[in-house]
């Protein structure tokens, strides 16, 4: 499995992977309509092209035999949400905004490789911490982040379609 930085040429297959894996992170009550709204707005090929055309977004993909198995996206800069800016203590900080791996590769170590890539890049760039938001009901992801040293520092609301979901905010000091 190779990890590499995504380029504009990856936007379509990245979008397909993101749309396939996004429902895995949603709590059981999330409606299909709200998932579709989120995917259309935030995970389309055009959305990924827009992320990649801005310097503060970085995306890495995990690829084997021409197929994508997972991706991670980080965003540098001051958190815009005041709940997050208040909860995250250290500056400068980088958000690990998305980490999604196909079900078959869960528990394989691939997620660790992707996380380490994003965290190492933030550290090299001078970040004092990395932070993320995670649904409070996503037990597997919360366990994974705790294993990676992300401590609970607060809560925020996260919009999926017309629904506001309850997230934990976690920070890892570098
Ligand atoms: C979150 C994600 C990247 C983690 O990667 P992973 O390969 O599954 O992670 P790991 O297997 O290393 O770690 C998960 C831990 O949760 C544990 N776990 C699994 N199911 C669990 C559950 N239902 N409740 C609590 N813990 C659980 C695992 O046993 C493991 O802990 P361990 O290593 O101590 O045994 C991956 O599961 C994923 O892509 N999920 C779908 C998308 C998602 O939720 N992304 C995060 C959005 S914030």
Could you identify the atom of ligand 1 that is nearest to the CA of residue 24? 41
Residue nearest to ligand 1 atom 10, measured at CA: 107
Joined tokens for residue 18: 């993101």
Protein fold of 2-128: Aminopeptidase (3.40.630)
**Which of the listed residues 35, 99, 103, 143 should we mutate to test ligand 1's pocket, taking the one with most ligand atoms within 8 A of CB?**
143
Strand 129-135 relative to strand 93-101, pairing: parallel
Per DSSP, the chain holds a count of helices (H) and strands (E) of: 6, 7
Q: For 116-169, write each residue's pLDDT tens digit.
A: 999 999 999 999 999 999 999 999 999 999 999 999 999 999 999 998 999 999
- Measured CA to CA in angstroms, residue 43 lies from 38, 39, 63, 118 at distances of 7, 5, 19, 19
Instruction: Assign 1 a pLDDT band (cuts: 50, 70, 90).
Output: confident
Give the CA diameter of the chain. 43
Strand partners, 171: 131, 151
Q: Which residue's alpha carbon is at the smallest distance from atom 17 of ligand 1?
A: 140
Residue with tokens 């938001």: 133
What mean pLDDT is predicted for residues 94-111? 98
User: Which pLDDT value is given to residue 115?
Assistant: 98
Q: Rounded to 5 degrees, what are φ and ψ at 58?
A: -130, 135
| For ligand 1, atom 35: residue with the closest CA | 107
Ligand 1 cavity residues, CB under 6 Å: 21, 24-25, 99-101, 106-107, 111, 134, 138-141, 143-144, 147
> What is the C-alpha separation between 122 and 28, in angstroms, rounded?
33
Task: Give 64-101 pLDDT, tens digit per residue.
Answer: 999 999 999 999 999 999 999 999 999 999 999 999 99
């Amino acid at each position: 499995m190779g990890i590499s930085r995504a380029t504009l040429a990856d936007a379509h297959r990245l979008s397909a992977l993101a749309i396939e894996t996004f429902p895995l992170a949603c709590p059981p009550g999330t409606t299909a309509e709200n998932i579709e709204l989120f995917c259309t707005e935030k995970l389309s090929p055009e959305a990924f092209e827009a992320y990649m055309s801005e310097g503060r977004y970085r995306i890495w993909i995990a690829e084997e035999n021409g197929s994508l198995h997972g991706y991670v996206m980080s965003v540098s800069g001051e958190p815009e949400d005041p709940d997050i800016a208040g909860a995250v203590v250290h500056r400068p900080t980088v958000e690990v905004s998305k980490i999604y791996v196909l079900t078959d590769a869960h528990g394989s170590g691939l997620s660790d490789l992707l996380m380490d890539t994003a965290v190492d890049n933030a550290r090299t760039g001078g970040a004092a911490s990395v932070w993320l938001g995670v649904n409070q009901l996503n037990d597997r992801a919360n366990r994974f982040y705790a294993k990676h040293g992300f401590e609970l520092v607060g809560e925020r609301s996260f919009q999926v379609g017309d629904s506001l979901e309850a997230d934990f905010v976690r920070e890892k000091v570098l």
